[in-house]
Amino acid sequence: MENRNYKVNRDNIYVGEVVRSGEIYRWEGDHDFLRTKPGQLAVGSWFTYRSMLFVPNEEKLSNDLLYRSPSYPILNITDDETCLGLGQESIVIQDACNLAALLEYFGYSKDLSFEDIMRIRKTFFTGRFAKDNCELFGWEEIKPEDWTYYKNGVEVTDPKELKRRIAQKRKSGHRAFTCFFESVLPREYWDVLDKMGDNNLKYAIEWHRKMNAFAPHKQEGPVKKLTKF
């Protein structure tokens, strides 16, 4: 976008991953490959730059809702031949996911402003929103006290040892979930929201990622925040 003074349609809002691509090809397998369905385009290898909230423009290229950035091709939204004609080292958006069902469920109106988009970014992309609301996406969390713990192949039953194990599990931050058969919202949000959300300090250091998942990468060039006018 040129500045913050915009209105966008809720049903056109997507989140996607900005990447530097390797080879772009058509997936011809019999089953889904990650989030790519047979016949769709995929990237053979890539380097992740950031997440982006966007709407497709008239040319079906990205229109960034948080920054004044270039309009990038969007795999499986932009014309396929355009994407297949891109060279390696091109910047594209992969795994684009429409957020309309999520936003409607949480009561967002049809026309959204920059302030609404900022609220969406801060609410749903904390890096833990999907886990904290797992039942909406067809999952149930297994709490540390519901685990079965073993020592040397024997189930731990001693109350003090169980208490210690449960405390260790909570401290580690590891969380486990089991899948339901039904979900209130599309299951794809489970795979997308936290993956494209912010990173905690530990993950950011270990995987050389930014804590702010939407912050532009220096390799994109001089990408600036949107101005007020």
Q: Give the pLDDT confidence of 60-78 residue by residue, as tens digits.
A: 999 999 999 999 999 999 9
Residue 33 reports pLDDT greater than 90:
no
Q: Give the pLDDT confidence of 76-116 residue by residue, as tens digits.
A: 999 999 999 999 999 999 999 999 999 999 999 999 999 99
Residue 52 reports pLDDT greater than 70:
yes
Q: Give the pLDDT confidence of 177-227 residue by residue, as tens digits.
A: 999 878 999 999 999 999 999 988 777 777 677 799 999 999 999 999 999
For residue 62, what pLDDT is reported? 98
Q: Give the pLDDT confidence of 4-32 residue by residue, as tens digits.
A: 999 999 999 999 999 999 999 999 988 88
26-51: average pLDDT: 91
Q: Give the pLDDT confidence of 133-184 residue by residue, as tens digits.
A: 999 999 999 988 888 889 889 898 888 888 888 888 887 778 889 998 789 9
- Taking alpha carbons only, the member of 94, 67, 85 closest to residue 4 is 67
For residue 158, what pLDDT is reported? 87
DSSP of 109-176, one letter per residue?
-SEEEHHHHHHHHHHH-SS-HHHHTGGGGTEEEE-GGGS--EETTEE---HHHHHHHHHHHHHHT--E
What is the average pLDDT score of the chain? 93
Residue pair 62/74 in contact by the 8 Å Cβ criterion: yes
For residue 207, what pLDDT is reported? 66
For residue 226, what pLDDT is reported? 95
Of residues 133 and 35, the one with the higher pLDDT is: 133
Alpha carbon distances (Å) from 175 to 132, 142, 178, 181, 208: 10, 7, 11, 20, 22
